[in-house]
Amino acid sequence: MIPIYLLDTNIVSVLVLGRSASAAARFRGLRPAQVRVSAITRGEMAYGLSRRADPARLREAISRFFAEVEVLPWDREVADRYGQLRAELEQSGAALGALDMQIAAHALHAGAILVTADKAFARVPGLKVEDWTR
């Protein structure tokens, strides 16, 4: 089975801004069908772009990136997985921020490996995580 990778917001930023040769090489080495982002990450990127005073160049880079990568919708099944995950993590005292929990739930639901530089995701049971920036 071919692995599917769900890119976290910090990795999308790294790729869009060209801040890691190793992340770019990993990204380029995959088939387009293997790489996805959550609608949550798409929203976080839109938010970051909206905060910029002069976003023209960055807007173009983000548009090029999202033209190549499928954005997974936030649907009922993902929302249900999020609710379960949030309850589990809160009960164990290992909760993440709300958006990170949503992205983790999306990766779990999709059966994807989450690509992130955020070590906090290691606290999510059953979540496969890779950091392409090392």
Q: What is the pLDDT of residue 22?
A: 95
The residue-averaged pLDDT of 2-23 equals 96
> pLDDT tens for residues 26-70?
999 999 999 999 999 999 999 999 998 777 888 999 999 999 999
Residue 100 main-chain phi, psi, to 5 deg: -65, -40
Radius of gyration of the chain (CA): 15
Residues sharing a CB contact under 8 Å with residue 21, sequence separation 6 or more, in sequence order: none
> pLDDT tens for residues 68-112?
999 999 999 999 999 999 999 999 999 899 999 999 999 999 999
Instruction: Write out the residue range of the structural domain in which residue 62 sits.
Output: 5-130
CATH code of the domain containing 58: 3.40.50.1010
- The Cα–Cα gap between 83 and 105 comes to 9
Q: What is the pLDDT of residue 115?
A: 98
Q: Is a pLDDT exceeding 90 seen at residue 128?
A: yes
**What total of structural domains would you count in the chain?**
1
What letter would DSSP give residue 132?
Answer: T
